A = this chain, B = another copy of it.
C-alpha cells in the first residue's frame, strides 16, 4: 500500500485513533448548525419531495418487467442474472426453538457500499446526506447516506446515470478513511448479506447537488428521533462511528442520571462487567458449540409457503410476503423499473434494555441466529421479535424480556421511534426501536444467551464486521443520540 503524505513534526506516523473519536464527539455536540439549520432542513426535505415525482405500484409477478421464475427452480431472478434473486433456503440449527425450516430468502452475494462523506465546516465534521427515494419506503423519501450503491450500481450494470460522489469511496482515493467495515444486513431475510459501511473525510470543496445537504452528527441525532426519517443505511453507517467521552467529562460513579451513566459507558477508561476476553469468549462459545447450516433449495420446493399471482406468503399469514412493485421516478439513475420486495406482515419490536451498573451504563444484548446469519450468531437487541409471529403453532416461546419492554413505564423509555428497514429490498418494513432504562432491581444475572456490555465495548467491536446485527446497530446509533457531550 502506498503511503499518503501525512508528515507533521518530522514523523511519518499517524496520530492516535482516539483523535477520530474526539472529532466525531465534537460533531455530535453540535445540535444545530449554521451550514444547514435544522429549521431549514425540514423545508429543504419537503422541497426535495415536491421536486420529484414517484409512483410505486404493486403488480402481479407476471407484470414484473425483467423478472421471472426460473423454469427448473421457480427462483425469482432478473433476466441479467445480476442484482439479487429470491431463492429458497433450508435452515438447520440448534439455536432456535424450531430446529429446521424452509423459507424464501434474498440472495445477493455482491458487496455494496453505504458511505457517508464528511468534511469540516468551522472545525466541525459534517455529514453529506441525501434525500433519497426507495420504492419500499412508507413515505417514499428518507434521509440516506451520501451513497448507497450495490456493486452492480457502481460498476454500471444497469447502465443508469452516474452516482454522485462515488469517486470519494473508490480506491485509490484522496480522502481519509475514518470507517470501513463489512456489516451484515437482516439475517432473517438476506443470505449472508454484507455491505461496506464507510465514512470518508474530504478536505476539498464539494459541489452540493440539490438532493444533498451537510448536517452535523448532533443534527442527525436529533433527526433520528423522528419516525421513518433516517433510513437504515444511514443508521448503520452512523453506528460505526466511534465516539468517546473525554476523561474530564466523566461523571462520578454514584450519579444516577442516564446521560451521565452513558457518558461513563462511552469512555475508554470505563470498567465493564465483563472484560474483553470474557465478552469475546461468550461469543466464541456460540460459534464453536452450535450449528447453523444453510442450504439453498429451489423456491418451488418450500414447505409451508404458498405462491399466488401476487405474492409468496406463509400458509399461516405470518413472517413476510414476497411481492412485486412497478416504479417510476424522476431523479433516480433509472427512471422506470420493476422489482420484487419483501414485505413483513407485522411490526417488530427491537429494544435495548440498559442498566446503570456501578455508574456505568450497560446494554443487554443477546446472541441470535437468523436464517441467513453469516457465522452462526450475531449480537442482537435484548428483544428482537415480531410479536404477531409468536403464539399458537409458532413453536416459539415468549421471548425473554419482551413483556418487560412492553410494560415499561414512560419514565423508563429513553427512545421510542419507528424506523424503516431498507426500502430498496423491503416494502413498508417498519419496526419500533426502543431503549429502556431498567430499574435497579433488574437482575444482573441473565440467561446464557444474554450478556451486559458497555457502549465502549459495542463501539470497539463494531469496528469489525459481523459482531452486531443491523437491528442492534440501529439501536447503537439511537443510544448515541442520548449522550451528553
Contacts and interface: CB of A to CB of B under 8 A. Distances in A.
Interface string A269-296: 1011111111011101101100000000
Interface residues of A, number: 53
A12 to B, nearest CB: 6
Give this chain's copy count.
2
Contact of A177 (B181, B277, B444, B445): B277
Contact of A446 (B1, B113, B445): B1
Contact of A463 (B181, B198, B280, B288): B280
A229 B17 CA distance: 39
Central interface residue in A182, A273, A281, A444, by most chain B CB within 10 Å: A281
Contacts of A276: 17, 463
A275 B360 contact: no
A196 interface: yes
B357 A13 contact: yes
Interface in A1-41: 1-3, 10-17, 20
A17 B20 CA distance: 22
A178 interface: yes
Contact of A182 (B253, B287, B452): B287
B13 A273 contact: yes
Contact of A277 (B17, B111, B253, B275): B17
Contacts of A278: 14, 176-177
Nearest to A278: B177
Contacts of A253: 11
A20 B16 CA distance: 22
A182 B358 contact: no
Contacts of A358: 10-13
Nearest to A20: B277
A282 B284 CA distance: 25
A84 interface: no
A182 B3 CA distance: 31
Interface in A175-206: 176-182, 196, 198
Contacts of A97: none
Given A12-B273, A284-B196, A360-B13, A445 B20 contact: no
A308 interface: no
A16 B446 CA distance: 23
B15 A448 contact: no
A1 B464 CA distance: 23
A12 B357 contact: yes
Contacts of A180: 277, 280-281, 284-285
12 contacts: A1-B282, A3-B274, A11-B358, A12-B357, A13-B273, A15-B275, A16-B269, A17-B277, A177-B278, A180-B284, A182-B284, A276-B463
Given A13-B272, A179-B277, 4 more contacts: A12-B273, A14-B275, A182-B287, A196-B288
